Amino acid sequence: MPSDSWFYSQKGIIITQEPDNRLFKQLADDFVALMKAEVKERLDGLDQRYWDFSVDNVVFTLHQEHYLGISLWITPESQRLPNVEAVGSKIEDVIRSRNGSRDGTRTR
């Protein structure tokens, strides 16, 4: 299934290259409100945040690090699920709508 979507060919996306607590929280709130995501775990440290979400058994992590910015990663186990492409497209839609004109940087 060729696509220009980060999700189909990549394992993660860098959303911003600078930390942004407000954007991080807005994205987390959007995943819950718009995608009905369940928050599985929240780890907040001094310079790192890892929040795990689950949507239709697909688990993904929203990550923020002081020197790296905000990124999102779908777990390796979830990448093998048959519905991962549909959930990934919804994730991408939420990121694009919240992140405005800033396109995420694709990563492998």
Instruction: Write down the domain spans for the chain.
Output: 6-99
Query: At the topology level of CATH, where does 6-99 sit?
Result: Double Stranded RNA Binding Domain (3.30.160)
- The burial of 30, by beta-carbon neighbours within 10 Å (0-12 exposed, 13-18 middle, 19 or more buried), is given as middle
What is the pLDDT at residue 6? 46
**Contact between 82 and 57 (Cβ < 8 Å):** no
Which position has the token pair 């990663």?
73
Q: Please state, in angstroms and rounded to a whole number, the distance separating the CA atoms of residues 102 and 1.
A: 25
Q: Helix (H, G, I), strand (E, B), or coil: what is residue 102?
A: coil
What is the pLDDT at residue 105? 44
pLDDT category at 10 given cuts 50, 70, 90 is low
